[in-house]
């Protein structure tokens, strides 16, 4: 897998002269979800600011698609069309008086037509569910809403690489799920996503690749499984092991259960260790809300707590139709848990994320529970109403 962004022997210090990055060589694989992981002060944000040219290395080089960055105005404008950064603190990013003015700022600087700008602003605000706040003064928004405005500003640039510095910091649990599902969906639609965090649990469930930082250096750069094989590295960087990983290890030590496959999520963990041998799995029904034949009355055939929605557009459509559905977040995981204990589950989603839904369910079935039946939309209408 080729790196879309690379640093080679980058060294950097702020004005006080302290070495913050020390000979950092790293690569971000194209089309993947990468986490820059490390404890506070290890240099994660500083590295991210090098990737999109906000900071210039004192030594070494940064390249995008193998071309060294150019730090003149033209070079940086061109880079920031392709590599956008959502800052840790939205107040470092939001300057305009109203939400839509702020989101339009980047596209306006690209010299796009008025129609194109309006479309991008509309789509970005829809994606982060802030359309109804478009004329609101940015100062009158909550912290979480300002964070979403900052994300919309980055999305409106339609970049190839979206970088987010601590995207979930300061958000409530629902917003954290929303942010992580959205980033997964954007990745599925072709964007390279990079997140800075010290949250090992999140990295373990979400990331394909990791850059592990400690005291300004890179301890590891590669896939997440490779990192977990090297216990000493997380220990050295003062980060804890993910809970599900530790539980799997303990089960291996205590019961002799094979360590592989390593569960990465709650349904995988439950199914590996607490499989209900006497219960036949339930069915996993999938309906696409953007299918012209979609009939919302199918939800009457399911219990409220056995339905969920996945996908930004599917959530919006379901809300606008007033559908009474329980799981608006973690719906795929919830469905897998329900189906593996014998209950039927309906997932409402949209065709643009079909592959993502399929790959998540396939992974679960291949490793942990092959008997769940996936029922396509055409067959749902035959289900008896509850």
Ligand X SMILES: Nc1ncnc2c1ncn2[C@@H]1O[C@H](COP(=O)(O)OP(=O)(O)OP(=O)(O)O)[C@@H](O)[C@H]1O
Alpha-carbon dihedral of residues 205, 80, 170, 31, nearest 10 degrees? -10
Residue 170 burial by CB count (10 A; 0-12/13-18/19+): exposed, middle or buried?
Answer: middle
Which span (38-46, 67-75, 242-250, 343-351) binds ligand X, by CB under 6 A? 38-46
Site for ligand X contains 16 (CB under 6 A): yes
Q: How far is the CB of 270 from ligand X (least distance, A)?
A: 32
Handedness of CA 166, 315, 354, 346 (dihedral sign): positive
Element (H, E) at 189: none
Element (H, E) at 378: helix 377-380
Closest to 272 in 3D by CA, of 203, 351, 369: 369
Site for ligand X contains 262 (CB under 6 A): no
4, 20, 298, 346: which one binds ligand X (CB under 6 A): 20
Which span (33-41, 119-127, 176-184, 306-314) binds ligand X, by CB under 6 A? 33-41
Q: How far is the CB of 107 from ligand X (least distance, A)?
A: 28
DSSP state of 350: -
Tokens 């041998």, residue located: 277
Q: Which is nearer to ligand X, 19 or 208 (CB)?
A: 19
Site for ligand X contains 44 (CB under 6 A): yes
What span, in angstroms and rounded, lies between the C-alpha atoms of 351 and 330? 18
Site for ligand X contains 53 (CB under 6 A): no
Q: How far is the CB of 115 from ligand X (least distance, A)?
A: 39
Site for ligand X contains 52 (CB under 6 A): no
Alpha-carbon dihedral of residues 83, 237, 201, 355, nearest 10 degrees? 40
Q: How far is the CB of 96 from ligand X (least distance, A)?
A: 24
Q: How far is the CB of 51 from ligand X (least distance, A)?
A: 12
Site for ligand X contains 50 (CB under 6 A): no
Closest to 140 in 3D by CA, of 153, 149, 128: 149
What Å distances lie between residue 344 and 246, 281, 386, CA to CA? 31, 8, 11
Q: Which is nearer to ligand X, 37 or 312 (CB)?
A: 37
Which span (13-21, 55-63, 75-83, 376-384) binds ligand X, by CB under 6 A? 13-21
Closest to 227 in 3D by CA, of 359, 37, 46, 364: 37
- Reading phi first (left if > 0) and then psi (alpha if -120 to 50, else beta), residue 28 is in beta
Q: How far is the CB of 263 from ligand X (least distance, A)?
A: 27
Q: Which is nearer to ligand X, 216 or 311 (CB)?
A: 216
41, 57, 75, 377: which one binds ligand X (CB under 6 A): 41
120, 146, 188, 198: which one binds ligand X (CB under 6 A): 198
Q: How far is the CB of 40 from ligand X (least distance, A)?
A: 4
Report the interface residues with ligand X, using CB under 6 A: 14, 16, 20, 38, 40-46, 196, 198
């Amino acid at each position: 897998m080729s790196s879309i962004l690379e640093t080679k022997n980058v060294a950097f210090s702020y004005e006080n002269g302290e070495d913050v990055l020390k000979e950092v060589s790293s690569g971000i694989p194209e089309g993947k979800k990468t986490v820059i992981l490390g404890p506070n002060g290890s240099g994660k944000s500083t590295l991210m600011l090098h990737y999109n040219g906000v900071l210039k290395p004192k030594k070494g080089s940064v390249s995008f698609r193998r071309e060294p960055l150019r730090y003149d105005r033209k070079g940086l404008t061109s880079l920031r069309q392709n590599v956008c950064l959502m800052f840790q603190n939205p107040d470092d990013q939001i300057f305009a008086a109203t939400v839509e003015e702020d989101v339009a700022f980047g596209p306006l600087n690209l010299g796009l037509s008025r129609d194109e700008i309006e479309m991008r602003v509309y789509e970005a605000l829809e994606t982060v569910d802030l359309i109804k706040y478009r004329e609101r003064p940015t100062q009158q928004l909550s912290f979480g809403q300002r964070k979403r405005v900052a994300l919309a500003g980055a999305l409106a640039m339609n970049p190839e690489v979206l970088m987010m510095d601590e995207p979930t910091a300061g958000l409530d649990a629902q917003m954290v799920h929303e942010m992580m599902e959205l980033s997964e969906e954007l990745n599925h639609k072709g964007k390279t996503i990079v997140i800075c965090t010290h949250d090992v649990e999140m990295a373990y469930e979400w990331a394909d690749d990791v850059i592990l930082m400690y005291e300004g250096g890179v301890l590891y750069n590669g896939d997440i499984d490779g990192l977990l094989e090297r216990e000493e590295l997380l220990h050295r960087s003062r980060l804890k092991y993910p809970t599900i990983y530790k539980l799997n290890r303990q089960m291996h030590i205590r019961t002799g259960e094979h360590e592989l496959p390593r569960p990465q999520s709650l349904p995988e963990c439950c199914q590996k260790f607490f499989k209900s041998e006497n219960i036949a799995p339930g069915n996993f029904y999938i309906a696409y809300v953007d299918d012209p034949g979609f009939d919302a009355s199918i939800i009457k055939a399911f219990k409220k707590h056995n339905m969920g929605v996945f996908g930004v557009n599917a959530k919006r459509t379901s809300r606008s139709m007033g559908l009474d559905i329980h799981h608006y977040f973690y719906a795929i995981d919830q469905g897998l848990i329900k189906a593996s204990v014998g209950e039927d589950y309906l997932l409402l989603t949209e065709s643009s994320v079909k592959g993502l839904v399929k790959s998540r369910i396939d992974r679960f079935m291949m490793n942990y529970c092959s008997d769940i039946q996936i029922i396509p939309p055409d067959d749902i209408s035959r289900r008896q109403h509850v």
